Structures are given as structure tokens and as C-alpha cells.
Structure 1
Amino acid sequence: MKYSYVARQPILDRDKNTIGYELLFRDGLNNSFPEIDPDLATSRLLSDHFLSTHYSTLGDNLGFVNFPYQSLINRVPTLFPANNLIVEVLEDCPPTDELLDAIKEMAKQGYKIALDDFVPSKEWKQFLPYVSIIKFDIRIISIGKAKTFIDKIPSGRITFLAEKVETHEEFQQAKDAGFDYFQGYFFSKPEIIQRKALEPSVLTLIQLCKEVAKEDIDYKAIDELISTDISLSYKLLTFVNSSSTVSTKIASFKQALIYLGKERIRKFISLVAIASTQESKPDYLYGLSIQRARFCELLAARNQTNCIEGSAFLTGMFSLLDSLLDQPLNVLVDEMPIEEEVKAALSTGEGMLGLVLALVKAYEKADWDQVTKLSNQLGLSSDNINQSYDDAVKWTADLLTS
């Protein structure tokens, strides 16, 4: 049984590479679990989510986890491996001697300690020698004020992370101020808006995505589309022939498509479509596009109303196309050969698909009030949503590592 929602948000370095994820749990435990102690619930959540689903998808990345005061005093973090766990001390934890002893002990055991939503004060000064990361919420502490504090700390002793970074301008300002890690959705917005026509190859990929989103795949249509693009043709044959189960080399597109089957074709097209946009983009942006596509599709499948899963898949996949191509989404949508329901969801958030996409975005940002509101509108239970998210994360991790 799952006790609450859990989402993960990427943490990027100065080059926009993903170095870790913060695992965010639902607030207000008393509303859902009045008879469960918050620290016990946190422990169960860590066990259920961090060690199972999310731990397996972290790979070499760090896992940033919030710990309430009592769980720190009880050394709950020591139940988990120290190599890629970042222990976040919540901002409402009082800086007591008891907490300092716990922090000292865990730091000595090799755990990296992070102070979350840090507000500089004399009381926290004695903690700093044992702290590896300090997180500043730039909506609370300005970048300028944070810089004043950063400049006082010897270089390299503590890594500083800027939270709630929403624009590229803020990202650049935070870099200049001395921050090395960044959290927020600045990376999922277009850097430079340019009005230009879609390249033919992009249109081909969009048409391919439309085809693979259908319940009954038209192999002939896909064959014809792939045959028009040399790069796609090469990637398809390479992809198929690299499989360990292929005993004789596959030479024709039709043979390759039939061999792959519906599910693997969709994986292949999804991956190639996203990876063929812009090489300069943050790696997490590609994964998020695919994860959104799968998450939308799974929610649509579990929705009590009649919502087409293939259209939901496309809605999620194309929701970040403006960032990948640095063009306005409304311009891209006008030129895309896709259903009107998908266009409406992407442009104005209308219809059932618009609600599904809004729910997915709210979940990613851990906006649990909005998640609850939208899930009620869509007739989805928290278990439906949790399972769909976990499955989408696993599916994407499998796709990107296969």
C-alpha cells in the first residue's frame, strides 16, 4: 500500500547535465493518514519508493530526500546506502545540539548532508563543517543575498544549489553568483523563440509519432515514412541488428518493423523523435518528453471516460516540443498533422487531454493540491496516479538504457 504521492524533480549542473533527483512526498499527512506518525510514514515512503521504484531508476545519479527532524534524530537515513543519498535537513528543523550530534555522526559515516531552503543565521554556523550542500530558494532568498553568503565560504567546501529557477536569465545569474546545482523548470522552456518553418525531417518524425500512437499500427505507412529518411533508415536497422536475439542480419525495413513488434516500434520512434531535435538540450528534457508521453497514456487508459490512449501519448510527447525546437508551441501545433483534440490540449489546455496533461505537469512539480483537484475531475484514484507515474518512470529508464 502506498501512503502518498511521490514525484521526482531533476537537479542539473552548470552544463545542464542531470546529477540527481529530489524525491518529493505529499505534504499534509494528517489529512490522509490521521493515525500514522509523520516520521513512520516518511520511513515507509522511503522504503516503498526510494528503495524500489525510484532507487532503481536513479542509476549513477544522486537521490535528494527530505527528512523531518525526528527521523534525523533517529538516524533513519542510515538505513539507506550512503553512496548516492543526499540527506536534506528540512527548513523547519530547529538547530538543536541533538540535531548537530546526528548530523556529525551521519557525515562521519559518509552521508552527504544538505540544508534545504536555507536562511543564514548564527545558529546554523556550527553545522556548516558537516554540510556538503546548501540549497537556497531564490524566491525567498534573492540571488544577490545568496551570493553574499556564498562569497564568505571557502571555495569548494560547500556546493550551492539554487531552487525554483524558472528562467534562463535566473539560471545564468545563479551561475554567475557561484551556484553549481540548479533545480526548477527553466530547462523546460524555450531559450530563444524563433519563427521558422519546420524542417521536413521533423514533420516526418511527427507523422511517425502519430502512426505509432494508433491502436492498430499501419506497418506500410511507417515503412513508407522511414524509407524517405536516410538517417531514420540507418538508425532503424542498427537498432534492430544490435539486439542479442537477432540470429541473422535484417536488411529490409518491413522485416525490421515486423520483428520489432508494436511496443518496441513505439519505443524506437519515441526515442529517435526526441533525440533528433537539438543536441544542445539538457539530457533530462528528452527523458521528460518520453516520460510525459507514457504517463499521459497510462492515465488515459485508467480514466473512466473515453479518452484515446494514443492521442494522450502524443499530447505528452509534444508538450515540450517548443523547448526542444526553440519555437513557439502554438506555431508548431498549427503545422503538425495531428488530431484537433491534441492541438487543443497543447495550445489551450482544453478537453479531457488538456486535463490529463495538466495533471501530469502538476505531479512533476509536486503541486499536490492541483493533483488532487484534477484527479477528482478525471475520476482517478491516488493509487491509479501513483502506479501510472511509477510505471512511466520505469518505462522511460528502460527505454533510455536499452
Structure 2
Amino acid sequence: MQHQNEFIPVSAVEDASNERLPLGHKGQALFMNNTATGYHWGCYGTSMAIYETVIHSGYSIASVDVDTTHEGLGYPPTSASHQAMVEFAEQLQVVNSTVFRAIRDSDLLVVNGEGTLHRFHRAPRTLLSVLKLAKMMGKRVHLINHACFPSGGPEPASPDVERFYSECLRDLDRIVVRDEWSAKTYERMGIKHSVGFDCLPLYIRMYAKPVQMPSSILIGGASHWTPDIAMNLGRMLAAILGPTSVPVVFLAGGFKREPREDAVHYETLKKVIPNIQLARPTSFSDWIGWIRSAELMITGRFHHFVAAATLSTPIVTMPGNTAKTNAVAAMLGAPSPLAPTSGNAQDALRERISKPFRTSPAQVQSILEGALVNFDF
């Protein structure tokens, strides 16, 4: 099945922030998998773009955060049969009656898929089960802003996993993926979908007022890095960069709490790059300011890549815990993310640093238009 390509003028970004629609006139929306308070500033910006747009579209809004989605809705089934979903609903009424009532009382579910839908552990099964349950309850469901990798990569998963994903996804009212590799998952399953982009660029454009920060070589971590990987990267950077007049800065921080691994990565890097500094921005505008002001960013975080692409900051990327960063790199024509553990990593990193990827104005325009595809409430 062919996916839909939709193009919305970027002027709609500015127009949307000026609209004065009666709040709540379209009914009650339930925003599921809200990442604003759950991780770093990129996840905050992405979810806040969705939150603000739902409100400006004329809905009142209730929200379920990502931690609740992943861990607070009971134990999800491994089968998408009708009986399995009935039992999941019965369990949900006991373990989290508030969320069950919120689904029951909603007129629209806006589900921020983000990177949750990969592999077959508890979190993706829970979110998929909520999608299926909501449709069984007659709700209108939009699954937006997400990657979908049942196997963790672009290749198919086992037949039972593919079947579970397909059964839970096929009846949704609207599906918007943020990359073309995820679109192939839906094509494989024969499910109608649209291709958009991550929502973070909209929050940067609509709401952020970036603060000018010192010029830097900005380093970011990754959720799946071990201390050994961070140490290996630090050694390579120390050898490649040598003494530099531009400060080397590690970017950490988050809205309510930063990723736990940030402090570990920073302390590990400091052992081999003694002069590395720590930036722990206390606002989204400060976070964007560091990225916009950087001479170069080197990172394994997906949303660092998205923010740098939106701001045309030169960047060298490394893989995420799924194929999501590789997929967006392919969409933008950027080099494939460089694995810091590969055999020729140091030579390859030196080459990437000498010629980092940087988006053109036309690519930034395309990114913003893609992000807008998520919103058709």
C-alpha cells in the first residue's frame, strides 16, 4: 500500500499560534505517551508541540505521561485477540481506573508514538493494546509522531510480533510516521498511513526564543551507551580534536529530570577530555541556544539530530537504540550514523568532523512541512 505524502505550508506554523479558537469546542482529547517531563529537553519540545496544537485545534485536553504508559497500565497481552483485549480492559479498570475513564470519556485520542513502538517488550505492547482497546470502545484515534520498528530495525519481526502490531494498528483513524523506513513497516502490513516528521521543529519555530550561548564543540550522549562506549568516544575525540580554542561542552539537562545516563557519560568523558565542560540548561530556550550556537555537534541522541537539522547546526551523528536516527539521516541525505565501536571509527570520525552534515534552507523548510503533517484533528 502506498503511503500518503502531504504538504502543508510552513506559514501555517505562524498562523496556528495566532488563532483564537474557543477552547474545548471540539470536545475532549486524551494525549497519550506525553514525554514532556520524562526525559531530556528534546522530548519536552516534541510533546509540547503536540499539546499546544491540540489545544489550539479546539480541544480540552487530558494527558497521560510516558512513564505511566510504559509502567502504570498493568501487564499487556501478547495476543491481540478480542478476548485478550477484554481482559486487558478489565485489568486496566483495576490497576489504573483514571486512565480507563480518560479513554472512555475522550472524543479523540492523540497518541505520541515517539520511539515506543519497537520490538515486543512491555512498553510497545501496552501502547499497542491501548490503541486497540480505544478502537474497540469506538474512539477516534490518531497515532502520530512515531517510528515503528517491530524488530528494532527495518527488517520484519517474527510472524507473531508482526501480527500483534498489525492487529492493533490497522483500524486507527490516522497514522503519521516520522520517517520513511517506518512507512515501509506499514506498507508491509497493508495499513494506510502518512509520512511526516518529528514534531520538535514546530516547537522550536513556534515557541522557542533561543538564547545566545558561547560557541562550542557540543557533545551529546545516547540512551544505550555503556561507560565503555563513552570512554572509547572520548579517547577518539581527544586524539582528533587535540588542544582547541573552542570549548568542548557536554550537553545534558531536562525539564523535570535529565536522563540518568548523562552524568555517567559526562564523568566518563572527563577522564580523557579533562577540559570538557558541562551544560545543564534549565529551559528549552537555553537548550536550543546551545545547539544553535555550536560550531559542531557530535551526538548519539535522536532529538539532538532533529534540533541540529532544524537549526542548520553542523552535526556528526551516531546510532540510536533503534533504526530511527539512521532512517531520518536517510530522509535528509545525511551520512549514516557512525557507530563509535566500529573498526575504523577513529578515522571515520575524523573525516566526519572535517566535513560535518548541515541542512540547507530547503531541507529546513521540508522538515517543518513534514512536522505539520501530524496535525489534522
After TM superposition, the score normalised by the length of structure 1 is 0.26
Q: Which has the higher contact order (CA 8 A, sep 6+)?
A: 2
After TM superposition, the score normalised by the length of structure 2 is 0.27
**Which protein is richer in helix relative to its size?**
1
